[in-house]
Structure formats: C-alpha cells, structure tokens
Amino acid sequence: MKKLIYVLLSVNLIISCVSQKNQNINEHILTLKNSYCKAPHHYNYKKELPSYNSDSIIKENSDLRANFSDQSILILNALESLDEVEKINELKKDSSLESRIRVLELKNSINNKITIALTELDAVAAEFDCEGERVEQMASYVQNINDNRNNKLVIYSIVAGAAASVASGIISNDSWGNAVDIGGGVLGAGLGFATLNPKGRKVEFIHQRNLLRDVWTQKLESENFPPFVWYMYTEKKFSNHTDGKSIIENIKDRWLEFNFENNIEHANQSVNFGDGGVYRASDLFNRSRMLNQMQSATRTINQNINYLLLDLDKLVLY
C-alpha cells in the first residue's frame, strides 16, 4: 500500500511541475506581445506620391538621357530635382567661377535630398530587420516549448506505464489490478498521442503596426512607409524582373505561391496581414521569412540610388 501511495505522490508532483512550467511559459510569452521596433517618434511624411507616368517623364526629359539612366531620371523626378539638373547643364556652358560655385551648390542640394531618401530606406529596412528578429525570437521560443513538451510527454508516458505496472503488481485484487493496468495504458497512450499533435502550443502575437499589410494589399493605407520608399516599391521601372511587375507585386506573387499554395482566399484571411492573432511556431517562422524578404527588397533599392550618385558626379566633373 505504501508503494502505491508513493506512486500517486510522484504522479501528482509531475502534474504540479507541469502546471508551474506552463505558468512561467505564459508569463514569458506575454512580454513579447508588444512591438519594440517602431520608431519612438511619429513623423508626418508628405502624403503625395510622385507621378507614375514614367514613360511621359522620361520622354519629356530625354535630353538628360545622355548623362542619366531612365531609372535615375525617375528618381530625380521623385526627389523634385529635375529642374536643378537642367540648371546644372546650363551652367556648365559657362566656365566662370561663379557658375562653377553655383553648380556645386545645386549638386549639394540634390545630394541632401538623396541623403534623406537613403535614410528613409535604411529606416524602413531596419524596422523590417527588427520585426523579423522579434518574430523569429518568438517562433524559436514556441518551438522550443513544443520540443520540450514532446520530450516530457514521452517521459511521462514511460512513468505512467511503469507506475501502472508497479501498482498492479502490489494490488492483490485482480479486478483492481486490471483496472490499474487499463488506466495506466490509457494514460500512456494519451500522452503518446499528444506528441503527435502537429500544431503544438499556440501564442497570441500582436502587430497593429503591420508592415506586411500594405505590401499585400498593394495600397499605402497607413503611415508605415515614406512616399518615396513606397514609390520605389511600386514603380515598375525599378523592378529587376522582366514580367512588367513592380517589386512588391513580384514579392506578393512569391508569397502566394510558396506560403499559401496559390490559395488567395486563405491568404487574404491570414493573420499575417491583420492586427495580429493566434500563431503557431510554423506561422511565426513564415512571417519572419516574409519580413526578411521585404528587408532585402528594400536594401536592393540602394543600388538604384548608387547609380544616380555616379551619374550625378559624372555630370558635374566632366
């Protein structure tokens, strides 16, 4: 009888430890619900987007194509610097010191605008990076919980089986012994079946400032992105693809194909594009990958800015 009491006390101790562990887990998860990635201060960007009449803009400024690529011309237009470049071309015809100084002043003005544009790109890329790491941290934490949970369930299953064997061995009554065997078998089977649960622990993850929402809807309905950055995302002339789609149109197509198996209804209802909700570890890793893809896409725009700077230097120096 004493052995049976020891067995029951051991099982009760295991259950108590699990309950305390679950409480600690929930406390840790709550600390990760709020985002620390958004900027501490709100800046009111100009809401007006540059013109998307790219062909007309390039045609109207065809005289600049001797010094600038089509993409550089469009960036200059977005920065409202086309008039300054035209003025530089006029001043270069005059070799006086005054004209040279004026050229440098105009170039400095354009460079200041480019610096602001680069800063905006870096700020957006940094937030994508931070948000991606925040999500991945949560995903890894939940996955570790699930891995530990499965390992412990296996151990508990073994303990339950052993406890049933010991208890049935010390109980003389055959009916009670059989009942303990059956009960222990059911408990062990239940614990073993729980390890097969593919979903595992879920977690509430909140992202009211959702950087992926505007990308998915292809509409700038929030203040998450500066107009210049959004213009670079959505102007098709800046895409490296030959299918006539913009940067974020191509990204959306990849998400739909690889993340949602071309199920547009399922994708539109995804928690990834709302204010947040219940995630599994696999969902969080999926979100992290999408954020990292947007970070990479944002940083590649720097290449276009770099080409513009090179073109501008050539215009002024030669």
- Asked whether the predicted pLDDT for residue 93 surpasses 70, the reply is yes
Q: What pLDDT was estimated at residue 109?
A: 98
Q: Which domain holds residue 297?
A: 38-46+118-143+201-317
Q: What pLDDT was estimated at residue 10?
A: 52
Domain for residue 93, yes or no? no
Domain for residue 241, yes or no? yes
| Both tokens assigned to 274 | 């709302």
- Asked whether the predicted pLDDT for residue 158 surpasses 50, the reply is no
Domain for residue 264, yes or no? yes
Give the DSSP H or E segment for 100: helix 97-170
Domain for residue 103, yes or no? no
Give residue-wise pLDDT tens across range 8-17: 455 454 445 5
Give residue-wise pLDDT tens across range 95-136: 999 999 999 999 999 999 999 999 999 999 999 999 999 899
* CA–CA gap between residue 228 and residue 208 (Å, rounded): 23
What is the mean pLDDT of the segment spanning 68-76?
98
Q: What pLDDT was estimated at residue 154?
A: 44
Name the domain count of the chain. Answer: 1
Lowest pLDDT segment from 158-167, 200-209, 219-228: 158-167
| Both tokens assigned to 108 | 């400095």
**Of 36, 272, 217, 251, residue with least CA distance to 131:** 36
Give residue-wise pLDDT tens across range 45-60: 777 899 999 999 999 9
Q: What pLDDT was estimated at residue 132?
A: 94
Residue identified by tokens 């015809």 is 93
- Asked whether the predicted pLDDT for residue 197 surpasses 90, the reply is no
Domain for residue 242, yes or no? yes
State CA 231 to chain mean position distance: 20
Domain for residue 167, yes or no? no
Domain for residue 91, yes or no? no
- Asked whether the predicted pLDDT for residue 175 surpasses 70, the reply is no
* CA–CA gap between residue 209 and residue 42 (Å, rounded): 12
Give the DSSP H or E segment for 120: helix 97-170
Domain for residue 193, yes or no? no
Give the DSSP H or E segment for 205: strand 203-206
- Asked whether the predicted pLDDT for residue 70 surpasses 80, the reply is yes
* CA–CA gap between residue 9 and residue 103 (Å, rounded): 87
Best mean pLDDT range from 148-157, 196-205, 261-270: 261-270
Task: Give the dihedral of Cα atoms 223, 225, 231, 232; nearest 10 deg.
Answer: -170
Tell how strand 276-279 and strand 203-206 pair up. Answer: antiparallel
pLDDT confidence tier of residue 26, bands split at 50, 70 and 90: low
What is the mean pLDDT of the segment spanning 294-304?
97
Is residue 299 a contact partner of residue 66, using CB atoms and an 8 Å limit? no
| Both tokens assigned to 256 | 């739909």
* CA–CA gap between residue 216 and residue 255 (Å, rounded): 9
Q: What pLDDT was estimated at residue 12?
A: 54
Give the DSSP H or E segment for 204: strand 203-206
Q: What pLDDT was estimated at residue 242?
A: 77
What is the mean pLDDT of the segment spanning 126-152?
81
Q: What pLDDT was estimated at residue 43?
A: 67
What is the mean pLDDT of the segment spanning 190-195?
38
Q: What pLDDT was estimated at residue 206?
A: 84
Q: Which amino acid is at 125?
A: A
- Asked whether the predicted pLDDT for residue 275 surpasses 80, the reply is yes
232: left (phi over 0), alpha (psi -120 to 50) or beta: alpha
Q: What pLDDT was estimated at residue 248?
A: 97
| Both tokens assigned to 269 | 């209802």
